[in-house]
A and B are shown apart, each in its own frame.
Chain A
Amino acid sequence: MQTQSSRCSIDRQAHGRVLEFAAFSWPQPGDAMVGWPSVAGAVRRDALNRAILLHFAPGRVLAPDPSAATEALLDAAAAQGVGSGIDVTGKWEHYIIAGPDAARLLACAIEPGAVLENRECAAVTLFDCPAVIARTHAGFELWLQSSYSADFLATAERFRAALQRT
């Protein structure tokens, strides 16, 4: 699904499995989270700059398309009694919001500059739709709870039209 204008685009990204890891308590001792984006709001990226672990809320991490290494990291954490990993494939849809008006479009719902001022990702509500947002080189990436996606895209399109008028 795609919403396009000359100044802002919302493109759905294909993805596979998605895991969520939830810690039993937070914060954890430092040595329990080696290799993790240990600060809430941090994102760990791979060599292609793709987000592989998004620490979107304290003690709660999203792992899209987990590699074997990422799964091993999560399994090890679970085995150490840090928390539980859950397969949530289908729960989230992945979008890239890009273009010069990307931040302005998001500002219809949140102030992305303030939300991401001291963090790389955050759990937010966009037009009443729960999502995880992070910056990318092209704009923003969005992990949106899938049952809300139709309404989110419709509302975003209405705002995009309103922005063109003002």
Chain B
Amino acid sequence: MTPLATGLKGRSELGVALLLGAAGVVVFLDANGLVTPYSKSDPVGPKTVPFIVAGMLVACAVLLAINVLRRGKGEAEGGEDVDLTHPADWKTVLPLAGAFILNILLIDWAGWVISGTVLFWGSVLALGSRRYIRDGLISAALSLLTFYGFYLGLGIALPAGLPEGIL
């Protein structure tokens, strides 16, 4: 391993510093691009606060990077159902995100009843349930119930989509 690679190992937190820095630069560039004539009624203008925020983000990025290189470490958050003894389980998280994205793609076209079913079913499977049929029935029931509940109870019309004539 090169010295650089060894230095970076276990320092994934540097990515956070990078993100903060990038956010700072974006905020700065965006504010810098605003064209505002000086106005007496608004001496601060729309640029000042973004500049301060950008400065703060970049400063945090630099300090965090130094902190991490000096072996500083953010403490991962615990919780009732959180078991920090095992590493992040990407085999659960990525399919979850997949179900979520599928829902975004489907919701306007296929409607909430279908996309919501996909979301819940996919999430339950991703989280390790293996009772496919029962899970599917529950997912469909939940989506239908929320669809009608929102429509009749709250007056919010979720998209009906493909099964429009039936619902």
**Chain A partners chain B:** no
